[in-house]
Amino acid sequence: MSATQTREASRTTAFTNIVYVARKIEADLLAIIDTYGCFTENWGTSVMHDVRILMDEEVIEKVILVWTANGSAEVLDAYSYRVIIGGFGLADDRSGNIRYRRELVGATFNLRVEYKQRWWNMSDEDKADIKRRLTLTWGPGGVLDYSKGEWQADRTYSKDGFGVVRDRFLR
- Sorted by sequence, the CB contacts under 8 Å of residue 134 that are 6+ apart come out as 49, 50, 53, 54
Helices and strands, counts by H and E, the chain: 4, 5
pLDDT digits (tens, 9 = 90+) for 120-171: 999 999 999 999 999 999 998 899 999 999 999 999 999 999 999 999 998 8
CATH 3.90.1150.10 fits 15-131+143-170, yes or no: no
Q: Taking the CB of residue 109, how many other CB atoms lie within 10 A of it?
A: 20
Predicted pLDDT of residue 3: 38
Q: What is the DSSP string of 46-92?
A: HHHHHHHHHHHTT-EEEEEEEEE-TTS-BEEEEEEEEEEES-TT---
